[in-house]
């Protein structure tokens, strides 16, 4: 995997294409909607026809000037997968999505802020192996909002969401928070969870954008 960690691991994120395969369930559509609301730099595509596999996602990325793709894959009726890919050169990661809790289900009092940037927080475990470093790099590219994509980029507090990625029990536990000023002390900040929550269990890492040799996993 380490041979694949090239300049893209440090480069800024461009547009992110977000889409799903056909057959996605209503609850998972709500999860997709929740994720989209955190990504003002995202382009949304129609449901993907997978008769010829997933290779066409790279062409869709090129057509929409996107360098990264997030694909909810519901081809297996018993399981939901998420692909995160650097297009077209790769690598790509296939995750199994588990323990999903949508914003509507969680019913938190705090709400998201429209069109702002995300602070991404990864725990120290992601520095422990090349595979985890690749996972961190791809998630960073997908969830980092470029300054030009934020409607409030010129404001002092343009970063208003914190997305936490924690490595636990072999998977990535994802939590989302809103960053607020403390009402008691304006010099301090508070984190209020807004959702969604989900866990990403890595299945495999492959060399290209939705194609190529398996670098890690089954």
Phi, then psi, of 73 in degrees rounded to 5: -105, 110
Res 149: pLDDT: 61
Res 164: pLDDT: 98
The set of residues, in sequence order, having a beta carbon less than 8 Å from that of 106 and lying 6+ positions away, is: 193, 195, 196, 197
Res 211: pLDDT: 87
Res 218: pLDDT: 62
Q: pLDDT per position in the chain (218 positions), as tens? A: 444 444 444 344 468 999 999 888 999 999 999 999 999 889 998 888 777 678 889 889 999 999 999 999 998 989 999 999 999 898 999 999 999 999 999 999 888 888 888 999 999 999 999 999 999 999 999 999 876 665 544 444 478 999 999 999 999 999 999 999 887 777 788 999 999 999 999 999 999 988 889 998 86
pTM listed for this prediction: 0.88
Res 157: pLDDT: 46
Res 1: pLDDT: 45
Res 148: pLDDT: 66
Task: Kindly write down the DSSP assignment for every residue of the chain, as one continuous string.
Answer: -GGG--GGGTSPP-EEEEEEBTT--HHHHHHHHHHHTT-TTEEE-PPB--TT-STHHHHHHHHTTEEEEEEEE--STT-EEEEEEETTT--EEEEEEEEEE-HHHH--S----TT-EEEEEE-GGGGSSHHHHHHHHHHHHHHPPPGGG-TTTTSTT-EEEEEEEEEETTEEEEEEEEEEE-SS-TTSEEEEE---EEEEEEEEEESSSS-S-EEEE-
Contact, 73 vs 23, CB < 8 A? Answer: no
12 half-sphere exposure, CB direction, 13 A CA radius: 8
């Amino acid at each position: 995997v380490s041979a694949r960690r090239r300049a893209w691991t440090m480069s800024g994120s461009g547009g992110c294409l977000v889409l799903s395969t056909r057959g996605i369930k209503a609850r998972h559509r709500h999860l997709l909607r929740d994720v989209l609301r955190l990504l003002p730099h995202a382009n949304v595509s129609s449901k993907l026809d997978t008769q010829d596999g997933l290779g066409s996602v790279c062409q869709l990325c090129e057509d929409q000037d996107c360098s990264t793709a997030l694909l909810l894959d519901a081809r297996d009726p018993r399981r939901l997968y998420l692909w995160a890919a650097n297009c077209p050169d790769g690598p790509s990661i296939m995750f199994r999505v588990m323990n999903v809790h949508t914003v509507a289900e969680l019913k938190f009092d705090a709400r998201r802020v429209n069109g702002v940037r995300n602070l991404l927080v990864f725990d120290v475990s992601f520095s422990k192996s090349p595979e985890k470093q690749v996972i961190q790099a791809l998630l960073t590219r997908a969830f980092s909002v470029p300054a030009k994509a934020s409607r409030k980029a010129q404001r002092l507090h343009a970063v208003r969401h914190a997305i936490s990625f924690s490595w636990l029990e072999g998977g990535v536990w994802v939590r989302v928070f809103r960053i607020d000023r403390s009402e008691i002390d304006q010099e301090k900040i508070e984190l209020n969870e807004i959702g969604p929550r989900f866990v990403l269990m890595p299945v495999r890492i492959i060399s290209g954008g939705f194609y190529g040799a398996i670098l890690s996993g089954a």
